[in-house]
Structure 1
């Protein structure tokens, strides 16, 4: 009985002290930032809220649907984290509607953050080209680097 109590006490103490610290989880925004895209009216240049927006991204192995969002004025889109110099992003206003392709070109710089987060990619020298101008009519550049998710990188004009 004495050995059972010692074993259980050792087991409980081992479980308590084996819990990891805060650096096990990357939750304070230290990971790779996403690209913020906002929307404007082409005629006036004023901000616009879209009723619905469907976004797909080609991460190198075909298009991945990021889903539909409704009543939005901006959207965060993750870019490729491999060594590719560009990411293709597709925008639609309806499920079966016309689709605009935007190629976002950039250079990347990797930075080590922590054991939990690993390596963070920073995107610099961003440049976007509109391939299919329907439903997106034009592009307007915002900030040309992605450091965090606060600043708008690209404006889509509808």
Structure 2
């Protein structure tokens, strides 16, 4: 009983000291930002709603299908986080349709965020290049904001 008087307060103090901050959770958008892509009409550059869009990205080990989306005016696409100076993105408007390839060239900069989030990459000097395809639905591209620090601004416009 004599030891129980000391054990209970010791456990309580240990419990209080073990509580820490939520440093291991990266919730407030501090991670590596993704590229925002919006859609415009080719003729008059007005916002276009795309009925269906299928996206694939080559992250260095082959194409990864990101899936399809319907009735959208913009989407967000993660870029490569290795030391590659570009990311290849493939767009289709039909599941088995013709692809349009866009190579996004950039330079990266690493920034330390926190112990939980680690290091995030920011992308600068974005330069998208469309590989033309006569059968693809994408007729052209326009560059938007040429750096990615967050996901608020559009970085690439696809012209349909």
Task: Please give the TM-score of this superposition, normalised by the length of structure 2.
Answer: 0.89
Using the alignment, how far apart are the partners of 2:21 and 2:85 within structure 1? 36
Aligned to 2:157: 155
**2:130 matches 1:125:** no
How many pairs were matched up?
Answer: 158
User: CA offset at residue 22 of structure 1?
Assistant: 2.1
In terms of mean alpha carbon deviation, does 42-51 or 14-23 score higher? 14-23
Written as runs of structure 1 = structure 2, the 5 A alignment for 1:42-121 is: 42-121=42-121
Please list every run of at least 4 consecutive aligned residues from structure 1 whose deviation after the TM superposition is greater than 2 angstroms: 1-20
**Structure 1 stretches of 5 or more lacking a match?**
none
Q: Alpha carbons of 1:5 and 1:59: their partners in 2 closer, same or farther (altered >3 Å)?
A: farther
Is 1:59–1:79's contact at 8 Å kept on the other side of the alignment? yes
For 1:141, the equivalent position in structure 2 comes to 143
CA contact (8 A) 1:99 1:132 kept: no
- RMSD of the alignment, in Å? 1.9
1:71 is displaced (CA, Å) by 1.0
Distance 1:137 1:18 in 2: 58
The CA deviation string for residues 104-155 of structure 1, in whole angstroms up to 9 with x for no partner, is 0000011101001110111000001111331211000111111110000000
Distance of 1:80 and 1:18 partners within structure 2: 37
Q: Does the residue aligned with 2:60 lie in a helix, a strand or coil? A: coil
TM-score (norm. length: structure 1): 0.90
Gap runs ≥5 in structure 2: none
**1:2–1:56 CA distance, 2 compared to 1 (3 A):** farther
